[in-house]
Amino acid sequence: MDEIAAISTPRGMGGIGIVRVSGEDSLKIVDKIFVPYKFKEKNDGIQNMPGYSAKLGKVVFNGEVLDEAIVLVFRSPKSYTGENVVEISCHGGLFVLNRVLDAVLNFGARLALPGEFTRRAVLNGKMSIIQAESVKGIIEAKSKSAARLALLNKEGLLSEKILNIKDQLTHITAEIAVSIDYSDDDDFNNIDYLKIREDLLKIKGCLKKLLDTYGSGKMICSGIDTVILGKPNVGKSSLMNALIGSDKSIITDIPGTTRDIVEGSISCGDVILNLKDTAGIRESENIIERLGIEKSLNKIKEAELLLAVFDLSMEMSKEDLEILKLAKKGKNVIAILNKADLKSNLDPDTIKKNIKKVVCISAKTDFGIAGLKKTIKEIAYRNISDPEDGVLTTKRQFVTLKKSLDYIDDAVQGIEEKQTPDLIMHSLDLSLNELLQLTGEKISQAVTDKIFSEFCVGK
């Protein structure tokens, strides 16, 4: 008997709080602490309740009424975990919920580990590991886009796509295996390696397309780590404030105002930006400012999106050229020509030659801010032509798929170099192995543990 139980709703006060129990004997356990109210039918506890049914009653433990609650029953296999599941919907106070949970634990259930309900769902074939990852994505989604991608993956589109690629690869590997078995001399004559090479290149193309979605998937799901950089006084803090719509950063006309990193999150269209306003970059004698500048430089390296700010009212300076050099190294860069409300003295040609996306704004009047947000959203979605084609959203998915692709590359190279069929097959086996890990069909305990350890208890 291994029944698990946990409070599945957030720890805090709420209208309703749910204690969830899963496992073969979960109805038997809950039956010991739950007394349904008698209505017209006779009261026979909850053990014979059909799936998808509910009863109102009292939770009683050691002769004491703990709460009035509704018990919801899900029968195996038609439940989240695939096992018998009982949800006790109580009043949403942590004290009451803990007492109800203790009562359930007292009758033989054990406290669920983080993500253990979902882990059981995977073990019982209710969902793939990729779908399980997307459950976490749905819970953590902070924007409409993030929720949409997670939901699409939960529906199984990405899993299906990868399973399809896996099937194609299995087919090719089997073909080579047969050729080895029936060949007398292991030569290249009894199998069409040109065709196999072509098929592998096609599979590689599909994998590459999926891998390319990760940058966008990550930005949409975790928010875009964005750094605002520029020389002092160009209006970085003003831009930060204009974007978040509040006076978070201090603004003055004294160059060198911002000394430390100021952070804020904003919803940009329906993408989340994790914004960092930094100290203006210039040669400085001042130790505090210099430390601030050093921090700015470090943040620039980590950023997914750089907003490089220039002052339209001033001519290009040596410091601006330094900023351009730094910005060019970024993964995604938007050059922002600020102070468009003033007379322009800046020739933007050098900037336009170096940075593809250039946006004119006035942080003071909000001119161009809506357009800037639109440009940011376009960058976030750049590598996703259709979210329904599958989007990678976790690092594990990216790294595993990349390994799979690298092994296909080895196989293609093997064919081109006329390696022996068993060597080529070995590369394909390794590639398949990665795909199996990705879908969870052949995944190590350590990787599974890691995935579920990041879940909350009760999910």
Ligand X SMILES: Nc1nc2c(ncn2[C@@H]2O[C@H](COP(=O)(O)OP(=O)(O)OP(=O)(O)O)[C@@H](O)[C@H]2O)c(=O)[nH]1
**Which residue of 238, 296, 332, 393 would you call a contact of ligand X, by CB under 6 A?**
238
* Interacting residues of 438 by C-beta distance below 8 A, sequence separation 6+: 129, 130, 162, 396, 397, 400, 401, 404
Give the total of residues touching ligand X (CB under 6 A): 23
Within residues 254-313, the interface with Mg ion by CB under 5 A covers: 257-258
**Which residue of 82, 280, 330, 390 would you call a contact of ligand X, by CB under 6 A?**
280
Cβ contact 284:256 at 8 Å: yes
Residue 19 near ligand X by CB under 6 A? no
State the sign of the Cα–Cα–Cα–Cα dihedral 228, 350, 257, 367.
Answer: negative
**Which residue of 45, 93, 256, 264 would you call a contact of ligand X, by CB under 6 A?**
256
> Which three-class secondary structure state does DSSP give residue 56?
strand
Number of CB atoms found within 10 A of residue 310's CB: 26
Contact partner, 439, from Mg ion, ligand X, none, Cβ < 5-8 Å per class: none
Residue 251 near ligand X by CB under 6 A? yes
- Provide the minimum distance between the beta carbon of 457 and Mg ion in the complex, in angstroms, as a whole number: 42
**Which residue of 1, 13, 342, 423 would you call a contact of ligand X, by CB under 6 A?**
342
Q: Which two tokens stand for residue 27?
A: 């109805």
- Judged by CB under 6 A, the stretch of 33-41, 181-189, 245-253, 298-306 that binds ligand X is 245-253
Q: What is the largest CA-CA distance in the chain?
A: 87
Contact partner, 440, from Mg ion, ligand X, none, Cβ < 5-8 Å per class: none
- Judged by CB under 6 A, the stretch of 164-172, 235-243, 261-269, 387-395 that binds ligand X is 235-243
- Provide the minimum distance between the beta carbon of 377 and ligand X in the complex, in angstroms, as a whole number: 22
Q: Are strands 224-230 and 305-311 parallel, antiparallel or unpaired?
A: parallel
Residue 439 near Mg ion by CB under 5 A? no
* Rounded Cα–Cα distance for residues 355 and 352 (Å): 5
Contact mark string toward ligand X, 363..382, x via CB under 6 A: xx------------------
User: Which residue in the block uniquely carries the two structure tokens 């939960």?
Assistant: 154
Ordered DSSP codes for 65-110:
EEEEEEEEEE-TTSSSSSS-EEEEEEEE-HHHHHHHHHHHHHTT-E
Residue 431 near ligand X by CB under 6 A? no
Residue 296 near ligand X by CB under 6 A? no
Q: Strands, E, within 235-331: which ranges?
A: 262-268, 271-277, 305-311
Cβ contact 115:158 at 8 Å: no
Q: Are strands 53-61 and 64-74 parallel, antiparallel or unpaired?
A: antiparallel
- Provide the minimum distance between the beta carbon of 280 and Mg ion in the complex, in angstroms, as a whole number: 6
DSSP code at position 260 = S
Residue 233 near ligand X by CB under 6 A? yes
Residue nearest to ligand X (CB): 280
- Provide the minimum distance between the beta carbon of 341 and ligand X in the complex, in angstroms, as a whole number: 5
Residue 178 near ligand X by CB under 6 A? no
Which one, 219 or 234, has the nearer CB to ligand X? 234
Angle at 305 between CA 301 and CA 308, to 5 degrees: 85
Residue 341 near ligand X by CB under 6 A? yes
User: Which residue in the block uniquely carries the two structure tokens 């199998």?
Assistant: 191
**3-class secondary structure per residue, 336-366:** EEECCCCCCCCCCHHHHHHCCEEEECECCCC
Which one, 87 or 311, has the nearer CB to ligand X? 311
- Provide the minimum distance between the beta carbon of 306 and Mg ion in the complex, in angstroms, as a whole number: 16
- Provide the minimum distance between the beta carbon of 338 and ligand X in the complex, in angstroms, as a whole number: 5
- Provide the minimum distance between the beta carbon of 246 and ligand X in the complex, in angstroms, as a whole number: 14
- Provide the minimum distance between the beta carbon of 450 and ligand X in the complex, in angstroms, as a whole number: 40
Cβ contact 219:271 at 8 Å: yes
Residue 237 near Mg ion by CB under 5 A? yes
Type of residue found at 27:
L
Per CB under 5 A, residues contacting Mg ion are 236-237, 257-258
Contact footprint for ligand X (CB under 6 A): 230, 232-238, 251-253, 255-258, 280, 338-339, 341-342, 362-364
